[in-house]
Amino acid sequence: MLRLGTREFADHEPVIMAIVNRTPDSFYDQGATFRDEPALARVDQAVADGAAIIDIGGVKAGPGAEVTAEEEARRTVGFVAEVRKRHPDVVISVDTWRHEVGEAVCEAGADLLNDAWGGVDPRLAEVAARHGAGLVCTHAGGVEPRTRPHRTGYDDVMADILEVTVGLAERAASLGVPRESIMIDPGHDFGKNTRHSLEATRRLGEMTATGWPVLVSLSNKDFVGETLDRPVKDRLIGTLATTAVSAWLGAQVYRVHEVAETRQVLDMVASVAGHRPPAVARRGLA
C-alpha cells in the first residue's frame, strides 16, 4: 500500500503524477506554466484528466541560469498553498533537491518531496521525516544537480540503480520517513546515456521486486528522442510505449506531461494484466 497525503493506493493501482513547471525555461513547454493563471489551469485540467499527484518544480533539470534556493521557494511555496486550497485531496509533490525549499513547501502543504538528484542534500530526507511527507529516492549517477552526464559508465547499470535507490530508501525510513510513503526511481536520463535508460527500462522488474513502489519519469525525455530520432514535441508515442512496458513490469507511479493519454495506456495495461475490468462489456453479449 502506497500512502501519500490523505490518499492510499493499492499495490496494483497505477498513479499519475502530472508535471507543472514553475520555470521560464522548461525544456518541454518553455515557460507556459510559469505564471500563476496558466499553471493553476494546468493543475485543474490534470486533476480532471485523472492525475492523483501534482508535481511542482521551480528549477529546470538541465543547465541554465542559476536559480537560488530563495528564488526556487518564491516560485513554488505560494503556488503549493494555492493548489492545496483549490484541491484539498490531491497529493502535492515538489521537485527539489534542497532541504531549505523542502522545509518551506512542506509547511505550505506539500505531501511529497521528489528528489531527482539522488540525495545530494542529505538533509532533504530529514525534512520529509520531520513533516511526515513522502520521498522519491532517485538514481542520478552521482552527478551534480543540473549537469548532463559525460561519458558515464557502469559495470552494471541496474545494480548501481538498486544499490543507490534502495540505500536512499532505507536511510529515509531509518530517519522516520513513513516506509509506505517512500518510492524509488531509476532516474531515466539522469547520469545515464540512452542505452543505460533503455536497459533500466527493460530490467525494471528488478526494481519492483525490491518491494519499494517504483516511480518512473519518462515523459518526452532525451532517451526517447534519441531512440526514435524525434524532437521534444514529437516524443509522445515513444513515451507511451515506454510507459506500457514499465506498467507491465510493475512500476506504479508515472511522472508525465500528457495525463489523459497516459491514463488510457495505464488502464489498458491494467486490464490486460487482469487488475482492472473493462469499462464496458457489450461485445458478444447481445
Q: Is 164 helix (H, G, I), strand (E, B) or coil?
A: helix
Which one from 151, 255, 263, 276 is the annotated catalytic residue? 255
Classify residue 141 as left (phi > 0), alpha (psi -120 to 50) or beta: left
Alpha-carbon torsion 30, 104, 97, 250, what sign?
A: negative
Distance CA 4, CA 131 (A): 12
Find residue 7's DSSP bridge partners: 4
Distance CA 147, CA 129 (A): 28
* Other Cβ atoms within 10 Å of 102 Cβ, number: 28
Q: Residue 3: CB partners within 8 Å, gap ≥ 6?
A: 9, 134, 178, 180, 181
- pLDDT, residue 109, reads 97
Q: Enter the pTM of the model.
A: 0.96
Q: Determine the angle formed by the axes of helices 36-49 and 69-86, rounding to 10 degrees.
A: 50
Distance CA 67, CA 114 (A): 18
Distance CA 252, CA 212 (A): 10
Assess whether 233 carries a catalytic annotation.
no
Q: What is the CA radius of gyration of the chain?
A: 18
Q: Where are the alpha helices (DSSP H) in the chain?
A: 36-49, 69-86, 99-108, 123-131, 157-175, 194-202, 204-208, 222-228, 236-248, 259-272
- pLDDT, residue 1, reads 92
Q: Is 184 helix (H, G, I), strand (E, B) or coil?
A: strand
Distance CA 124, CA 245 (A): 31
Determine the topology of domain 2-272 in CATH: TIM Barrel (3.20.20)
Distance CA 149, CA 140 (A): 9
Under 8 Å between Cβ of 50 and 276: no
pLDDT tens digit at each of 286 positions of the chain: 999 999 999 999 999 999 999 998 887 777 788 899 999 999 999 999 999 999 999 999 999 889 999 999 999 999 999 999 999 999 999 999 999 999 999 999 999 999 999 999 999 999 999 999 999 999 999 999 999 888 999 999 999 999 999 999 999 999 999 999 999 999 999 999 999 999 999 999 999 999 999 999 999 999 999 999 999 999 999 999 999 999 999 999 999 999 999 999 999 999 999 999 999 999 998 7
Q: Residue 148: CB partners within 8 Å, gap ≥ 6?
A: 62, 63
**Cell numbers representing residue 121 in the block:** 542534500
The per-residue pLDDT for range 185-227, each reduced to its tens digit, is 999 999 999 999 999 999 999 999 999 999 999 999 999 999 9
CA 46 to chain centre: 14
- pLDDT, residue 79, reads 97
Which one from 75, 192, 221, 235 is the annotated catalytic residue? 221
**Cell numbers representing residue 164 in the block:** 543507490
- pLDDT, residue 135, reads 98
Pick from 194, 190, 202: nearest CA to 242: 202
Assess whether 171 carries a catalytic annotation.
no
The per-residue pLDDT for range 219-267, each reduced to its tens digit, is 999 999 999 999 999 999 999 999 999 999 999 999 999 999 999 999 9
Find residue 57's DSSP bridge partners: 21, 95
